[in-house]
Structure 1
Amino acid sequence: MVIIDILTHPITQIVIIVVIAMIAHRFSSRIISTLIHRIMLRHDFETVADREKQERTVAGIFRATAAVLIWLIAAGAIMSVLKFNLGQVAAGAGFFGIIIGLGAQATIRDYLAGIFILLEGQYRVGDIVSLNGGGVSEETSGVVEDISLRITKLRDLDGTIHIIRNGEASIITNRTFKYSSVVIDVGVAYDSDIDLVEKVMNRVGLDMLKDEELAKVIQEPIHFFRVDAFGESAVIIKTLGKVAPAKQWDIGGEYRRRLLYAFRQEGIDITVPRMIIQQTEKVHQKSK
């Protein structure tokens, strides 16, 4: 009898509901992660990194959705144990219901945008993106740390986390979708041998493939592309290359380091803007 009384006590029932919800939350997360992993293995992706990004993104959204559903059911069960009359509460909250309804429009828009982001693969967890919208004049850039159906979390270079509602992201720039390009402009002196410059640039790009670690992320070596412009004090040469997503800065920096050394070896000058100041003397003659 005592055991029955304890089990039927509201506090005990609430504790049981919370424990069951926690267990369901944990098991649902594991099941979702396993299922998404198996599904992604059946699909073809250009790189393993692309598959892992998509897997983390989809699994994260489904885990969050499952968690919301589980705890909503748990909350309803707890209110039932406490004998809340939801009908009376809803009837007495007519004014607040209108306010909530107006806010729900924006929330629904966020959820719909999140669904399209997921289905169209606009960006994934781990991508480096720039988002603009919601009345913000400047774009927000950073690494995508988390995506839910309602919000996207970006972490910028300073470590600041930006939380952006999906419905407000009107302009999306993904800098790491499938591959990234390395674009480097180099200014050389006007008296430089352009054929030699091209040869050295291409050689440096090809030599980087001899490094096993670099070769893993270089899809197309950095190479001479064209004479891009005539500057005030230099001929501007544009180079291009293709690398794995988010590796353009590392590879670009290593290419610049090697190119600087190679140019010095070949006697090619990399020019920078200079200001030349000429001083003239005025000779004043005394009239006699």
Structure 2
Amino acid sequence: MIANTSSSDLHKLFNNSLVQVVAILLIAYLMQRVSHTFIERLVRRAVKADRFESKIDKIKREDTVIQIARKMVSFVLWATVLLVVLSLLGINLAALATGAGVFGVVFGLGAQNTIKDYLAGFYILTENQYRVGDIVTLSGGTTTQLGTSGVVEEISLRITKLRDLDGTLNIVRNGEAGIITNRTSKYSSVVVDLGVDYKSDIDVVEAVINQVGIDMLADERYTSLITEPIKFLRVEQFTDSGVTVRSLGRVRPASQWEIAGDFRRRVKKALEKADIAMAMQQRMVHTASSHYKTRSNT
């Protein structure tokens, strides 16, 4: 008797639409968690290391693919859950589909920009234009000539999120990305211009710069980051204050700013030891003398 009552109660309980909806939502949540873990493991194994310049490039590509794949799977999963829940609640999906068809025609006329965003996002992903963790400048979607710059925090098929140096999060539609400048793709260059006095011996300046570049390459902090040591490139220009010389080196992506800063510091000290004066801004000041006649009163 008790067993039959319990069985009947359980049957009624699971026939309750609200309980079924809760159960479906719980199962969907667990499926999402499992699918996210599966996607990460699958992508990590599928992406081949020999296609990339470095391990960092490989990880960036993996993170980007994982991020987008997870969003796509989640969208399909929850869209399916929505349809199942609506069916359980007794909503006529056929009538809903008819209404959605009419709405879709109207919506489609105004959704051209959204379609453009998704297509652009697809090409960004497949062509590996930039990855999560890259430092990029997107010229579109802004009224400034400099564009929108920052570290790529998130990429979806519709938008890209960039975090700039001030910590501001900028969201750019992929269809408005415009010209994409990727500062961390494959390698980066260190370009340093230094001004020295006109009396300086350029041969000595060149020797000092090249030695500093060699010393930095030997430094254990930079050995894995510098691929080509910084060295004297050419005399760049003559200015009012002195001679500008240019140095050039090749480094791992995103390390150019740190290395360039330390290179300037070291070169300044080395030039001082070699009695090479840095260029100083000079100004010629002309003064006009005024002569006043003094008339004595008698």
1:104 paired to 2:116: no
Structure 2 residue 209 is matched with structure 1 residue 201: yes
Q: 1:178 aligns with which of 163, 179, 186?
A: 186
C-alpha displacement of 1:95: 6.6
TM-aligned CA deviation for residue 145 of structure 1: 0.5
Moved more, 278-287 or 110-119: 278-287
Determine whether 1:73 maps to 2:76. no
The residue type paired with residue 82 of structure 2 is: A
- CA deviation digits over 1:88-114, x for unaligned, max 9? 234446774344213432222111111
Match of 1:161 among 158, 163, 169: 169
Conservation of the 8 A alpha-carbon contact between 2:197 and 2:280: no
Q: Which is greater in Rg?
A: 2
Evaluate the alpha carbon distance shift between residue 8 and residue 43 of structure 1 in structure 2; reply closer, same or farther with a 3 A threshold: farther
Question: When the two structures are aligned, how many residues end up with a matched partner?
Answer: 288
Unaligned runs of 5+ in 1: none
Corresponding residue number in structure 2 for 1:125: 132
Cα distance in structure 1, aligned partners of 2:50 and 2:119: 25
Aligned to 1:32: 39
Q: Give the alignment partner of residue 234 of structure 2, picking from 204, 226, 229.
A: 226
Indicate whether 1:247 and 2:255 are aligned: yes
Aligned ranges 1:253-272 → 2 under 5 Å: 253-272=261-280
Q: Is the 8 A contact 2:187 2:251 kept in 1?
A: yes
Structure 1 residue 233: Cα displacement: 1.6
> Contact 2:232–2:246 at 8 Å: present in 1 too?
yes
TM-score normalized with structure 2 length:
0.91
Alignment partner of 1:142 is 2:150: yes
1:113 aligns with 2:98: no
Report the more deviating stretch, 183-192 or 42-51. 42-51
Identity of aligned residues (%): 48
Match of 2:281 in 1: 273
State the Cα distance separating 1:8 from its structure 2 match: 1.3
* 1:226-251 Cα shifts (integer Å, max 9, x gaps): 00111112111011111111111000
Report the residue type matching 2:204 in the other structure.
L
Measured against aligned partners, the alpha-carbon deviations of 1:159-204 in whole angstroms (never above 9, x if no partner) come to 0111111111111000110111111111111111000000000001
What secondary structure is seen at the aligned counterpart in 2 of 1:58? helix
**CA distance in 1: counterparts of 2:80 and 2:100, whole angstroms:** 21
CA RMSD of aligned residues (A): 1.9
Structure 2, unmatched stretches of 5+, are 1-7
* Of 255-264 and 107-116, the range deviating more from structure 2: 107-116
